[in-house]
Structure 1
Amino acid sequence: MADDTSKSTGSFGAALRTIRLGKNLSMHDVYKKATGRTYYSALEHGRKVPTLAKIDEIANALGVHPLALLLLSYAQDTDQSMLRLIAQAKVDLDELGLWTEG
């Protein structure tokens, strides 16, 4: 049985692939702008865990906000709706007095 880390890593890879294909991009289109071929392939196949800096770099290469990539990944990982995940993040940040609007 896979542990939580490998499940999350696989979900991140699936989110990468989903967005890349939705944008009609090849793996080459993305990794030439963001990272190496081997590393990017390992991310899509769930064998590597990216840093926040790499998530930002890859999201930029995909033409999406990094939160969109993470949101899709968490939605696939938890089977929760994206709206529910955003609402939970709002509650968490609001409780800390960190939520801002506008």
Structure 2
Amino acid sequence: MTHNNLAKSLRTIRKSKGISQEDFGLISSRTYVSSLERKLKSPTLSKVDELAAVLGVHPLTLLAGAYLQAFEATSVSELLGIVAREAKEINRVDLVKPTARKPEGVLIDK
């Protein structure tokens, strides 16, 4: 993913929610948000969390908007399907929490 796609995703979500660049004032300056949207800077994952909170969306929504363009997926559902398949394949390395279940032969005290 290039920061170009993230810039577009940020701007699109911000405008659709009626949020101004100044509304990010508690976490970032207007000039920083502007520099993100103009593709001059790239945010850290921590900053993506903060930006998403101001936007009122899950951080993955912001990232999905960017990766949707980068992967040329036709829909968010298709992109999430790719993620789900990959997560299932690597579930063995504990990237995804396994479903909680009682191991056979183990008694659980209440």
Return the TM-score normalized by structure 1: 0.83
Aligned residue in 2 for 1:67? 60
The structure having more radius of gyration, on CA atoms, is 2
**Structure possessing the higher relative contact order (Cα contacts under 8 Å, 6 or more residues apart):** 1
Residue type at the aligned position of 2:70: D
Deviation at 1:78, TM superposition (A): 2.9
Which has the larger share of helix? Answer: 1
Name stretches of at least 5 consecutive residues in structure 2 with no aligned partner: 100-110
Name stretches of at least 5 consecutive residues in structure 1 with no aligned partner: none
Aligned residue in 1 for 2:15? 21
Residue type at the aligned position of 2:4: G
Match of 1:93 among 70, 76, 87: 87
Question: Which segment is superposed worse, 80-89 or 16-25?
Answer: 80-89
Aligned residue in 1 for 2:104? none
Take 2:68 and 2:98, find their aligned partners in 1: how far apart are those partners?
A: 23
Q: Indicate the percent of aligned positions where both proteins have the same amino acid.
A: 38
Deviation at 1:77, TM superposition (A): 2.7
Q: Between Structure 1 and Structure 2, how many residues are aligned? A: 95
Deviation at 1:100, TM superposition (A): 5.3
Take 2:84 and 2:46, find their aligned partners in 1: how far apart are those partners?
A: 23
CA RMSD between the two structures: 1.8
Return the TM-score normalized by structure 2: 0.77
Question: Which segment is superposed worse, 61-70 or 92-101?
Answer: 92-101
